[in-house]
Structure 1
Amino acid sequence: MSTPKDTAPPELQFSTLEIFVEDFVAVVFDRSISPTQTCWCPQWWKHAEAVFDLMALWQSFEHMHVADGPTWSARWLTLFAYPIMDRLTSPAGPFRACSPAKGHNTQPDNPGGVLPCDKPDEGLFTPR
């Protein structure tokens, strides 16, 4: 008798994040690029937020297409793809200063490329 440990995980539809973005995201979500509507960076992997978002899309895609039955694609689009892609490609998103024509903008919005953070008062947060 086989147990769940004996079953191999299903083969991925896209073996890497790069392949998922190039062969799926860039094809399915193709839009006209404009700084007032849809922004994109051809070097998307240089944006930490974009990598995190696209990784979430890829992992949820791979899970849902196996585990969520025949309506998985509608659920994936409405729960994950549309909200994340709308935010990712918005004029306020991480690609706002990039374009296919100009390429990746290397100038960070904040020094060091991170949001400024002051130290909280001692003892405000306790370790878990």
Structure 2
Amino acid sequence: MGWLDTADGGFADAVAMLATVTHRPVRVVPHCGGEAVRVDFEFGRYVLARKGGPAAGADPDADGTWTVSVHDVDGHPDLALARATDEWLVDAFDLVADVVRVRPTVAEPCTTGELTAAAVPAATA
């Protein structure tokens, strides 16, 4: 089975689109009793894209909805840093793309103390 193939061939377009947009390796993974498309990013972040059912008043060219969520490798898999749903995968991904590339903040910032004039050595002539 190649990198674009899934058991039912249903994710080939999604894999190709995400690989093109992200320039990252993309794979189909088991998720919650089904399959999802996964893209790994820097800073321990990854994106899951899951196919949903048809939306009410859906675009006739769209085949259901996509839910794209951003997760942290060290976090709980059910806890998403961001989540978006749209009829088009590219639009749902676009809504969460900024979260993927943001460097995580440190939970407790380091303190270096205040730098005062007295702490700075005087310049020698």
The question of a shared fold, defined as TM-score above 0.5 by the shorter chain, is answered with: no
- Greater RCO, 1 or 2 (C-alpha within 8 Å, sep 6+): 1
- Normalised to the residue count of structure 1, the TM-score between the two structures is 0.29
The structure with the largest strand share of the pair is 2
Query: Which of the pair has more CA radius of gyration?
Result: 2
Q: TM-score, normalising length from structure 2? A: 0.30
